Amino acid sequence: MPKMKSNRGASKTFRRTASGQFKRKKAYKSHILTSKSTKRKRNLRSSTLVDKTNLQKVQIMLQ
């Protein structure tokens, strides 16, 4: 059986940290930004970690 291919979309979306977690960008930052407050848009700029409930799915996609 051939080797599994990693999910190319996921490999461009998630980055592994030194501690083994995954960094991700926040959603809702792409369009209709005029109705969102400046504070909300500023908080959407920063990256965050993948939640532990989704961690196993991300790891499977990136194998």
Number of C-beta neighbours around residue 26 at 10 A:
11
- Alpha helix positions (H), the chain: 8-13, 38-45, 55-61
Distances (CA, A) of 21 to 14, 33, 46: 10, 30, 16
Q: Is residue 8 part of a domain?
A: yes
Reported confidence tier of residue 15, pLDDT bands at 50, 70, 90: very high
**pLDDT single digits (tens) 22-43:** 999 999 999 999 999 999 999 9
pLDDT of residue 56: 96
- The answer to whether position 52 is within a domain reads yes
- In angstroms, what is the C-alpha Rg of the chain? 15
Q: Is residue 30 included in any domain, yes or no?
A: no
Give domain status of residue 43, yes or no: yes
Q: What is the pLDDT of residue 4?
A: 86
Token readout for 28 is: 């809702």
Based on the structure, what is the number of domains in the chain?
1
31 in any annotated domain = no
Instruction: For residue 54, give the CATH number of its domain.
Output: 4.10.410
Range of the domain at 8: 1-24+37-63
For residue 62, is it within any domain? yes
